[in-house]
Each structure stands twice: as C-alpha cells, then as structure tokens.
C-alpha cells in the first residue's frame, strides 16, 4: 500500500469537498439575497399601502389629502388644523419614500420600484400645497441631502399626477 497515493487521494477528496461547500454557500447566499430583496420591496409597498389605509380610515385626513390635490388650491385655504394634518401625513409619506430611495441606493430594491415611487412623489410637488410643504420641510433638516437631490432630479412627467377626487373617472 502506497501511503503517498492514499494521501494524494485524500487531499483531492478534501479539495473537492471544499469546492462543493463553497459552491453551496454561494448558491445559498444568492438565494438569500433574492429573498431579502423581495422582502424589502414588499415591505416598501406595504408601507405605502398603510398610508392609503390610514387615509381611508380617517375622514379628516382623507379630506385634507383630497383637497391638496385640487388644482389651484392655495395654502391660505387651509386652516391650522388641516395644515398640521397635511404636514404630518406628508412627512409619513416622504420618510417612506426616502427609505425606498435609501434601499435603492444600496442596491437592495429594483430600479422600477424606486423610479415609480420617486416619480409619483415628484408629481405631487406639482400641486401648490405639496410644493409649499416640500419647500418648508426640505430646509428643516428633515431629509438627507441625497434624497432631496434624487427627488428634485426626477422627471415628474414620467408619472401622472395622482388623482385625489373620490368617485369614478371618465
């Protein structure tokens, strides 16, 4: 029996085991990354859906939100309470969108999800009330400079301004 031959075969089997282990770890890592990305995308969508749920369940918030999307509506048409409601809702929305922007910048969510949400938010800024809110809060250190730059670089025309009014459209 040649011990050198046995040792060589053992080394080859060990090396093959290491290679197979590395391939398995790579496969599992890739699968876990896909799962994590899918989960993060789903969480981002759920966060936006929760805002819709909040607006549906609170008549005051719903009315303030719908009023904000009426063309030509100015800040002077809001009383103090309505303005406070809109500001808090806007912060909740914009913080969620900033979170989506951060996930995108880190390569954790897909570009199409990021682009749609950012364009949708940029389209809101076409309404005077939302523009007023944005001008106020972006200078209050509420949002990161990278989010402000990303949002303001979006082409709002890529996304139609949201429809606020209740009822069917023709």
- Residues 20, 111: Cα–Cα separation, whole Å: 34
73 vs 158, higher pLDDT: 73
Mean pLDDT in the chain?
85
- Tally Cβ neighbours within 10 Å of residue 121: 25
Overall number of domains in the chain: 1
* Per-residue pLDDT tens over the stretch 126-147: 889 999 999 999 998 889 999 9
In a domain, 164, yes or no: no
- Residues 89, 71: Cα–Cα separation, whole Å: 19
* Per-residue pLDDT tens over the stretch 27-42: 888 887 777 777 777 7
32 in Cβ contact with 40 (< 8 Å) = no
In a domain, 82, yes or no: yes
161 pLDDT tier (thresholds 50, 70, 90)? low
Phi, psi of 140 (to 5 degrees): -95, 20
- Residues 123, 125: Cα–Cα separation, whole Å: 5
In a domain, 170, yes or no: no
1 pLDDT tier (thresholds 50, 70, 90)? low
- Tally Cβ neighbours within 10 Å of residue 33: 12
Residue percentage of the chain with pLDDT more than 90: 31
The whole domain housing 112 covers: 3-158
Residue 117 in tokens: 């949400």
Query: Which residues 6+ apart lie within 8 Å of 127 measured at CB?
Result: 68, 69, 70, 71, 73, 161
In a domain, 169, yes or no: no
- Give percent helix, percent strand, percent coil of the chain, each to the nearest 5: 75, 0, 25
In a domain, 58, yes or no: yes
In a domain, 93, yes or no: yes
In a domain, 163, yes or no: no
Task: Report the run of H or E that residue 113 belongs to, with start and end.
Answer: helix 111-124
In a domain, 118, yes or no: yes
**pLDDT greater than 60 at residue 169:** no
Residue 57 in tokens: 């369940």
- Residues 157, 145: Cα–Cα separation, whole Å: 23
pLDDT of residue 170: 46
pLDDT of residue 105: 93
């Amino acid at each position: 029996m040649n011990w050198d031959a046995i040792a060589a075969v053992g080394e080859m089997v060990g090396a093959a085991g290491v290679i197979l282990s590395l391939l398995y770890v790579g496969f599992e890592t890739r699968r876990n990354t896909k799962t994590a990305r899918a989960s993060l995308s789903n969480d981002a969508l759920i966060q936006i859906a929760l805002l819709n749920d909040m607006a549906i369940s609170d008549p005051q918030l719903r009315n303030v939100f719908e009023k904000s999307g009426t063309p030509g509506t100015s800040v002077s048409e809001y009383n103090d309470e309505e303005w406070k409601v809109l500001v808090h809702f806007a912060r909740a929305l914009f913080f969620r969108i900033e979170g989506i922007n951060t996930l995108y910048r880190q390569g954790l969510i897909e570009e199409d999800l990021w682009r749609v949400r950012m364009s949708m938010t940029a389209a809101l800024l076409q309404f005077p009330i939302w523009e007023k809110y944005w001008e106020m809060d972006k200078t209050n250190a509420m949002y990161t400079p990278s989010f402000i730059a990303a949002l303001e670089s979006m082409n709002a025309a890529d996304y139609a301004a949201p429809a606020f009014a209740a009822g069917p459209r023709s």
